[in-house]
Amino acid sequence: MDNVNIKWIIVNSEDLVQSSLVDCERMLTKFLALLGLKISASKLRNIIQYDSHQFINESVWWDQSEIADNILSMSVPSRSSASIYSNDFYFLYGNQSFLQYLSDNRQCYNQGAFPQLQSETLSNRFSSDKPERCSLKPFDCAFGDLYSFEDRDQMYQQPKILKYFDRKPLKCGFAIPSIFDTVRYKYGRNQTCQTVVFTVVTNCYDPLPEVEGPILPSFCFIALLDTQTLKAHRIFYAKEKRSTSDDVQWDLIDLGANASPFLASAKSIETLKLVGPRMFPVAKWIIWLDGKAYIQNIGDILLQTQSPMIIPSHPDTTRTSASEVEPTIVRLKSREKSSSQQLNISIAEILIQQAEYSHDGFYARSDTLGLKMLDIAILVYKNNHPCVTRYLCGWHNEINYFSYRGQLSVYYPGVRLNLTHYLHPLPEKFYYTKDHEAVC
């Protein structure tokens, strides 16, 4: 047999993990070229553009050998009192053991943490549900690529271990081009904004959230507004000084005259609060604030947190997911005309959701776990955390398949994915909420 010269090229997986997005893209491009893949192909270019951020060391450092060495030696270090971001994933295991925490996140990662790209979305899809659900709200179905119950339920299905490369990407919004892509185009590569604080206000419904306390250079404040609200805010703040730190400079992004392409205008707000990772993929922490929210000392919140997901408790401790259904319907009736088609659709979606959750045993399981209602006017979450990614995508899908009222489904993906232990309360000393206040 003739001698054959074989040239081996060894690529350590950790070499793909870099601190800068540009370096991640360079290493991934080089690696794919070694595999003989054509980097010029549009699909590969899209993958590199939209997924490279998941190889930044802040996203996957917990899989690095130095962390494994710490685990084996049982020498988990103490958290620094001076640095917000230094390996902060390492300290967010709450009441679990650290080993269980890593195991959970390895499982979340293996089950899927890569959202569907627009290039992967099939065109000309139709709803297969009975009754058909998408003709009256085509954008709603297309944005999340959720045309059927099976689409919605896809994320909760356990993937087959032996068919790793057959796993489908997460349905998590942005499945089609939209005005919301504007935000990602502006901030998708911005690694200066390590903590993104953002809000969405349409139809002049609220002023900007109020923020107090030290503002670090790594904090960025972003407000997504429709054109009407943007103009009203400029007049409003020119006339009146709000109790917001002078150091807070909001970047006001104009989403155009129609910033609510969903059938229900409020759905833009309920949806966008959950897809922060799609708009700000390289941020380390993301904070959502409703217009009626007040928050202070953000740095202290991030230094003190022991969980990757923080949501305030609702002030009414008697409210639960099950008990929230009826008052939600009452509030909808008071806000919309009783004869409106939108009201009828909204109520029908709530009742279908209630029936499905009862059938799933969700309400009974929530009561067993003692899950009391949360105040979703404020969300604080660690970006690119595998279990948080899956939780947020699951919640997004519930809102975009069933009712857009987020409080009805806030616990569902946590219960279904066994992630409720990651939902920690935000201490009351850091926030409060007010009544809504129209600005025009």
Check whether residue 167 and residue 249 sit in a common domain: yes
Range of the domain at 54: 9-73
Check whether residue 225 and residue 300 sit in a common domain: yes
What pLDDT score does 240 carry?
63
Check whether residue 183 and residue 261 sit in a common domain: yes
Q: Which residues pair with 147 in a beta bridge?
A: none
What pLDDT score does 67 carry?
62
- 225, part of any domain: yes
Check whether residue 41 and residue 155 sit in a common domain: no
What pLDDT score does 10 carry?
80
Mean pLDDT by 10 residues, the chain (440 residues): 70 81 89 83 82 79 60 65 79 85 86 90 91 90 96 86 73 95 94 96 91 95 94 81 69 91 92 96 96 95 94 96 96 76 90 96 97 97 94 97 96 96 96 88
Parallel, antiparallel, or unpaired: how do β-strands 293-296 and 210-212 relate? parallel
Check whether residue 191 and residue 287 sit in a common domain: yes
What pLDDT score does 339 carry?
61
Q: What are phi and psi of 139, to 5 degrees?
A: -70, -40
Check whether residue 188 and residue 299 sit in a common domain: yes
In Å, how far are 293, 350, 358, 393 from 155, measured between CA atoms? Answer: 31, 21, 19, 8
The two three-digit tokens of residue 436, written as one number: 């809504």
Check whether residue 138 and residue 209 sit in a common domain: yes
Check whether residue 281 and residue 212 sit in a common domain: yes
DSSP reduced 3-state for 324 = coil
What pLDDT score does 71 carry?
62
Nearest to 57 by CA among 48, 47, 71, 67: 67
What pLDDT score does 243 carry?
47
Query: Strands across the sheet with 285-289, in order?
Result: 250-254, 219-225, 195-201, 285-289, 378-382, 309-310, 423-424
In Å, how far are 84, 89, 186, 284, 389 from 382, measured between CA atoms? Answer: 12, 8, 20, 6, 9
The two three-digit tokens of residue 403, written as one number: 């009712």
- 166, part of any domain: yes
What pLDDT score does 95 carry?
87
What pLDDT score does 372 carry?
97
- 291, part of any domain: yes
Helices (H), 13-137: 21-34, 42-51, 57-60, 65-73, 98-111
- 353, part of any domain: no
Give one DSSP letter per residue of 334-380, joined into a string. HHS-TT-HHHHHHHHHHHHHHHHHHHHTHHHHHHHHT---B-TTEEE
What pLDDT score does 3 carry?
62
Check whether residue 123 and residue 59 sit in a common domain: no
Q: What is the pTM of this model?
A: 0.92
Domain count, the chain: 2
DSSP reduced 3-state for 424 = strand
What pLDDT score does 167 carry?
77
Q: What are phi and psi of 411, to 5 degrees?
A: -90, -15
Check whether residue 36 and residue 134 sit in a common domain: no
- 354, part of any domain: no
Q: Which residues pair with 294 in a beta bridge?
A: 210, 432
- 219, part of any domain: yes
Rounded CA-CA distance 24/20 in Å is 6
Domain edge (last residue) among 56, 73, 90: 73
In Å, how far are 333, 365, 413 from 320, measured between CA atoms? Answer: 21, 12, 15
What pLDDT score does 419 carry?
95
Helices (H), 112-157: 138-144, 149-153
What radius of gyration do the chain's Cα atoms show?
A: 22
Give one DSSP letter per residue of 184-241, joined into a string. HHHHTT--S-SEEEEEEE-TT---PPEEES---TTEEEEEEE-HHHHHHHHHHHHH--
Check whether residue 27 and residue 124 sit in a common domain: no
Q: Nearest 5°: CA angle at 279, between 61 and 428?
A: 75
Check whether residue 256 and residue 160 sit in a common domain: yes
- 145, part of any domain: yes
- 330, part of any domain: no
